[in-house]
Amino acid sequence: MRYLPLTERDREEMLAALGAPSIDALFAEVPAAARLDGPVGLPRAKGEIEVERAISAMAARNVVAGSVPFFVGAGVYRHHIPAAVDHLIQRGEFLTSYTPYQPEISQGTLQYLFEFQTQVALLTGMEVANASLYDGATACAEAVMMANRVTGRRKAVLSGCLHPHYREVCETYARFLGFDLATQDPAPGDEDLGRLVDRGTSCVVVQNPDFYGEARDYSGLARVCHGAGALLVVVVTEILSLGAIRPPGEMGADIVAAEGQSLGNALNFGGPHVGLFAARDKFVRQMPGRLVGQTADLDGRRGWVLTLSTREQHIRREKATSNICTNSGLCALAFTIHLALLGEAGLVRLARLNHAAAVAVAERLERIPGVRLVNRAFFNEFTVRLPQPAADVVEALAQTRVLAGVPVSRFYPKRDGLADLLVLAATEMTTPEDIDRLEQGLREVL
C-alpha cells in the first residue's frame, strides 16, 4: 500500500502554523524556470530491462570528456588520475567510514585528514588548514563570513574576476545572513580594488589565477587591506597552479579558499568535489569545519584527535562559527593519495606540463585572424576574444566533436562586451592532435 503519513487536515494545520497559503508557497525561493508545473513526461510504468535500455540510450547522448578534444575548464579540470587512487579509496575501511563522532576510535580517518591538512597548508603557504569543506564555492562564502567574524565588520569587496558561481554563493549567503557585498564588474583586466577598501571593509576576495586565467601578484593589495584592518581572501579554483606560481600565503593572504578537484577527483558532472580552506594560525578559532591535530597518549605513542570542531551539532549550537555539517572525506582522501603519489617534484613537473600545453594552444590560436589573447600571464587556462559570439562558435565546434571551452556569456548572458570571450583550458591530457583539431575547427568556423 502507499505510505501517506499526513492527512489533508495535517497539512492544513502545518501550513497554517507556518503562515503559508499552500505547499507550493514553500518553494517560492526556487526560480519558476526550475520548477515543474506537472508530472515529468515519462510512462507510468516499465519493466526493469526497459528502464535500463531507456536510461542507457539517454546516457549515450552525452559526450565523454576523454573521447574528444577537450578544452573545458572554468573551475573544473580534466586531469589524469592514477589508478591507485580509486583502488585505495574503495577499500572498505575508507569507503564506508563517516564523520568521526567518536574521534578517539577513528584513528585511521583522523590520520589521513591530518596528512591532508598538512598538504593543503604547504601548497597554499598558510599556517593552518582544516579537514576540508564541500567545494570551492562554499569555502569562498565561508571565508567571507570568517573575515566578518574576525574583523567585526560586515562588508566584503569581491573582485569582478572571481568565478561567477563563487560570487553567486557569496551573494546567497549575504542575502540571508545580512552582510554587504561590493561586487565589481565581471570583465577581464586589472582592477583597482585597493581604492574600495575602507574602515568598514572586512575583506577583499580575489581569485588567482582568476576566472579568465590571469595570474597576478596580490602582495600590494594585501598591504592595503592590512593597513585598513581588512583581510585578503585568495580563491584558487585550479589547485595544480600552486605547483608553478607563488602561493597565496607568500603574497600576504589571510585566508585561502580553494577547489581541490584537480587532484584525485574526476569531473563527475560537477561534483562531488572537495573544498580546501587555510588561514593564518591566529585566526584558527574562527575557522569553519573541523581541524585534526596530533598528540601523544599516556604511553607516549603518537595519535590524532579532533582538535577543533566548530559546527553547531557538536554541542556548540548558536556559538558555532559555521553550519557546515561535514567534510568531503572520501574526496579529501583521493586528493591526499594523488598528491602523495606525485610528491613535490612530481607536482612541479605536472604543473610545468600543464603550463606548456596551455602556451602551445594559445600560440596556435593567436595565428588565426580575428582571435586575440586577452591574458598577459596565465597557468593552464586563458581567454581569447573572437570575431563573433563565442557561444555560437562553441556550439559549431561541438557538432564536429571538439569541446572548445566555455563562453563567458554562459555565466553573464545579459552583460555587454562579454559575448565574444571564450575561456579555454589545457592540461597534461591535451595532445598535439587535440590542438590541431581545435585550430583547424576554429579556422573553419570563423
Question: What's the sign of the alpha-carbon dihedral 212, 81, 291, 172?
Answer: positive
| pLDDT the model gives residue 357 | 98
pTM: predicted TM-score of the whole model, two decimal places? 0.90
DSSP 8-state code for residue 21? S
- pLDDT bin (cut points 50, 70, 90) of residue 316 is low
Reported in sequence order, the residue ranges of 193-340 that DSSP labels E, i.e. its strands, are 201-207, 231-236, 255-259, 275-279, 290-296, 302-309
- pLDDT bin (cut points 50, 70, 90) of residue 48 is very high
Residue for cell digits 526497459?
50
Mean pLDDT of the chain: 94
3 state SS of 428 = coil
Residue-wise pLDDT tens digits, 148-179: 999 999 999 999 999 999 999 999 999 999 99
Sequence-ordered alpha helix ranges (H) in 101-161: 107-124, 136-151
Residue-wise pLDDT tens digits, 266-301: 999 889 999 999 999 999 999 998 899 999 989 999
Cell of 298: 599516556
pLDDT at 314 over 70: no
Give the domains, in start order, of the chain with CATH numbers: 70-80+343-445 (3.90.1150.10), 83-339 (3.40.640.10)
Residue-wise pLDDT tens digits, 140-150: 999 999 999 99
Q: Are 290 and 310 in contact (CB under 8 A)?
A: yes
More confident residue, 98 or 203: 203
pLDDT at 230 over 70: yes
Q: How far apart are CA 309 and CA 316, in angstroms?
A: 9
Residue-wise pLDDT tens digits, 351-386: 999 999 999 999 999 999 999 999 999 999 999 999
More confident residue, 46 or 2: 46
Q: CB atoms < 10 A from the CB of 122, how many?
A: 16
| pLDDT the model gives residue 2 | 66
Helices (H) and strands (E) in the chain, counts: 11, 13
Residue-wise pLDDT tens digits, 71-112: 999 999 999 999 999 999 999 888 887 767 777 788 989 999
Query: What type of residue sits at position 403?
Result: L
Q: How far apart are CA 355 and CA 377, in angstroms?
A: 11
